[in-house]
Chains A and B, each alone.
Chain A
């Protein structure tokens, strides 16, 4: 809500510095986001009064105006037609600067001297209007510097009005809060309308069919008016508040809405059929053209304003084209009403029409001010656009009693944690218009003013008192209470440990949005039969790139690789732990944590002592193996298939007989789709099982007291015999075999693999004979395997 300081001052006198006031409003819950300075774009322009006009001979288009600027009367040549003796006009004296930068000098045309210039609004940079001289309001004193006139020089507060404070979407509402701050009071002036003899009753009938949807409705009427532009100071205020002037009738409805918070609607009376207004809730779908020219469909439950034949407006949302004010409007029927906020919210959201009016109806307006605003507007219309006001009004009102809340002061103080005292309590609430009735000591009955729709129970009063008392005056206190153990969520703690492992292994943690797109699924060649294809979709995504909830993490990481490659970072070790969203057997979404990690490029760009090779599959597998070992889970690796991994490298990860993920080298076609031109080795795992089985520490294992014995063996192992099978075979031969390592693999015609076997006994030193026996049985057992031969 934009609040011109000059307008505010019409309601409450403000002794404070405006900037200090802004600060204090902020601390009362009406955050002043900015204070904008509005300054004139001209200088040396004064208010003058035309005292005499003459037409010098030989200058047919020009007149000489003698303008009184309080201390002198200046002769000024002027070609405009809209001026007459007695008008107050802006006088740019010799030396004045106009908004375009032009400096006014002495002029002489055919011997006639001109000492200045009368200006249009455009010449002063006040609006686009250049149709004539800017006629100033008669109440301005001559000789006053125009640049200092309020509204031309002003401050505009931009107030962030919270959603519950609809009453503050008006100058009046803000003024009430200001008054409470400065110790003043806002009094609305009585309005005396000069009405015509003709009563409104002869022109229009009013029926309100739903008191729940529309508890108050008022019609007033102005006859014989015309759609002139409104005067500058009305237009200027609309501009300052961010609204566009249209014509005097419409401008006045907006002006009064900004001023009092009551949205108003003006109908062209001659287009209202059968002289009748009916307010009702729609019962069947209807087509309707709103005044923005859009064809819309009114649904059942929309609140409508109808005439004798059909709808003329969607209540509180937008008027119809069939009844709108045009340049030819002569008679105006003015609506002022209270509509149930729920109806307005529902309809304005469905039709996606959000206006200043609907905003106020949605937040709730002051039912007590409906008629006052109507009087204010019709009076102002007559003043600016002319015409006669018909006598009286048409009104329907279903009055609700005043809201009362019982408050125990001690309970309130306990909730705040501060001692306020009866006197302060009553003074604070009284300052914002609440009625206070003291029932007994510390017990009050509070009546809520009609503009405070947000206040309905005890806590609302606590909030008001705390806010007015000042949050800063409530002392902070450390809560006492039983000491409790505060356990961390164990899944969170475990995920944190996994992150630590990856960080210590030289990986950088990345964090991606939980969204991806159909394109990502295609990029990874995910088929419809794949569980990952059935992603949960977002009905209103921010973009096509973010239309689905991710079903796996890798696409995000590949985008990270691409992003970094484009910026010259080619060596990456990254990981992410995050939620993926899949569907359960019944199709409903399920959330689970995944981990993905990848390697690309090499460990480091170079090292002077040795050559640094590129990452390969075994760098990746090593990380997975270490992960398994670190958290004491027994992950096994089995050849697998994955549509985006090279078949020869694809490895499934199993834990407890269940597949938990896969890894391998990412296919070139997938990489290409992300603009990646180097090898990427990636692994992704479901963490559910890992989190439930992982442990940080095992039980202590006896440290052997006797020395181990190490023996090396070399075998030819055919390529279709997995080395792991041979290794497993060796391990199974004796419990004395502590470990089996592979220290060399090379291939000429056949593949040769060298194993290093460590023998270890906890009971004693192994004898040479025992070792020889074991050696012999290893050889004997291994050569039994098809495709394995001893290398001699």
Chain B
């Protein structure tokens, strides 16, 4: 029996131990019931008595030595806390994660896109005058277009803005062209059902300088759609009417839900309207003392909830204002 070789082998195995798991594996392979020593003791049974005694002694000494080394290692690992085996399948303790409201999230994206195209972000008041909300925008008293926007009135001739468009006027009054702004904010309409809430959010956009054309309007808004909904999104500009733009258009994108084949969300048309836009009406420019012979511009107004609904596949606008945690935690 080559005791020295055996010792060397044991030493080598023990030296290779790096952690608690290793230790248990090596212990089993050396001292276990089917381990190294068991088989060696089994072997010497067949030797003559004398030889068996001698070999047995040697083996026992070696075994004790191995045990001592392994115990020592175990003690060291225990001290370092490495010996305890965790049930790593138990759930961990998670940090608390909050979320921004989906409207905030979508608004961020919208503003970032226009910001990167050189549009400045400005904000304005929710409480407005008839002048800024209507008259300056070419919607005089009794104008049929006022029917399109059921207004909340406050005392003192004030009202809650029905759109973010008053900011077009406020910005143009405050500065000369060139103008490139977007203006986000809450707007209010006297309306409450499955697709309307009395308060919702819009982003207004305005660009006025020399030589701005309908073609520029299409360019900027096409980029917006591509950035917001993806490069391959089908889109169309459909003629429409707003008193403060002319020519006016509504921008439709291909329904992402049915891919154009027609569904409930797009009312079977395959198209979903996402914003209204148009060339600034010359009367609006004159109202702020801009010269429509010299400068032209375009404006647009988009509904943030609507964009968020399309973006996230939400089918009821009221979800945004119920603030159900099971809803909020999804964003």
Contact = CB atoms under 8 A, between A and B. Distances in A.
Given A459-B246, A462-B247, A564-B325, A162 B241 contact: yes
B98 A502 contact: yes
B60 interface: no
A349 B142 contact: yes
B154 A536 contact: yes
Nearest to A612: B93
Contacts of B322: 563
B95 A506 contact: yes
Given A475-B218, A477-B213, A514-B186, A459 B93 contact: no
B273 to A, nearest CB: 9
A510 B101 contact: yes
Of residues A471, A512, A560, which shows the largest number of chain B Cβ atoms within 10 Å of its Cβ? A471
Contacts of B155: 536-537, 539
Interface stretch (A2-10, A236-244, A571-579, A701-709): A571-579
B275 interface: no
A546 interface: yes
A26 B93 CA distance: 57
A735 interface: no
B213 A417 contact: yes
A166 B160 CA distance: 28
B108 interface: yes
A538 B152 contact: yes
Interface string B230-243: 00000011111101
Contacts of A188: none
A223 interface: no
B82 interface: no
A773 to B, nearest CB: 40
Interface stretch (A193-201, A375-383, A482-490): A482-490
Interface in A467-494: 467, 471-472, 474-479, 481-484, 486-489, 491-492
B329 interface: yes
A415 interface: yes
Given A29-B241, A499-B100, A513-B198, A540 B282 contact: no
Interface stretch (B19-27, B71-79, B115-123): B115-123
B3 to A, nearest CB: 50
Interface string A332-352: 000000000010011001000
A542 B192 contact: yes
A300 interface: no
A520 to B, nearest CB: 16
Contacts of B329: 508
A297 interface: no
Contact of B197 (A163, A415, A513): A513
A462 B292 CA distance: 14
B118 to A, nearest CB: 5
B48 interface: no
B46 to A, nearest CB: 55
Contacts of B158: 589
> What secondary structure prevails in chain B residues at the interface with A?
mixed
Contacts of B143: 163, 345
A234 to B, nearest CB: 29
Interface string A543-560: 100100100000000001
Contacts of A417: 213-216, 218
B288 interface: no
Interface residues of B, number: 89
Interface string A362-380: 1100000000000000000
B99 interface: yes
Interface in A427-452: none
Nearest to B123: A489
Nearest to B199: A513
A588 interface: yes
A265 interface: no
B328 interface: yes
A165 interface: yes
A49 B211 CA distance: 70
A415 B121 contact: no
A791 B43 CA distance: 73
Contacts of A508: 98-99, 325, 328-329
Contacts of B219: 476-479
A463 B246 CA distance: 6
A458 interface: yes
A790 interface: no
A488 B111 CA distance: 9
B328 A416 contact: no
A621 interface: no
B296 interface: yes
B313 interface: no
A560 B222 CA distance: 38
A414 interface: yes
Of residues A164, A416, A487, A511, which shows the largest number of chain B Cβ atoms within 10 Å of its Cβ? A511
A563 B324 contact: yes
Interface in B1-60: none
A700 interface: no
A407 to B, nearest CB: 14
Given A362-B144, A537-B155, A509 B98 contact: yes
Contact of A467 (B218, B223, B239, B326): B239
A503 B99 contact: yes
Nearest to A568: B326
Interface in A498-525: 499-500, 502-515
A479 B207 contact: yes
B142 A416 contact: no
B156 A588 contact: yes
B154 A509 contact: no
A27 B207 CA distance: 25
A460 B138 CA distance: 14
Interface string B112-144: 000110111111011100000000000000111
Contact of A415 (B160, B209, B296): B296
B220 interface: yes
B280 to A, nearest CB: 9
A415 B186 CA distance: 32
B281 interface: yes
A319 B330 CA distance: 58
Given A345-B142, A541-B152, A416 B215 contact: yes
B198 A546 contact: yes
B199 A29 contact: no
A574 B320 CA distance: 14
Nearest to B215: A417
A589 B127 contact: yes
Contacts of A695: none
A108 B122 CA distance: 85
A717 interface: no
A31 interface: yes
A609 B119 contact: no
A569 interface: yes
B261 interface: no
B190 interface: yes
B246 A460 contact: yes
Contact of B153 (A29, A509, A539): A539
Given A27-B238, A471-B237, A481-B209, A511 B153 contact: no
Nearest to A491: B123
B97 interface: yes
B186 A416 contact: no
A588 B158 CA distance: 10
A31 B103 CA distance: 29
A492 B199 contact: no
A414 B98 contact: no
A589 B155 CA distance: 10
B201 to A, nearest CB: 9
Contacts of A483: 118
A509 B212 contact: no
11 contacts: A162-B241, A414-B213, A462-B279, A474-B218, A481-B209, A483-B118, A486-B121, A508-B98, A508-B329, A541-B152, A564-B323
Given A457-B282, A475-B215, A510-B323, 5 more contacts: A475-B218, A477-B213, A477-B216, A539-B152, A574-B325
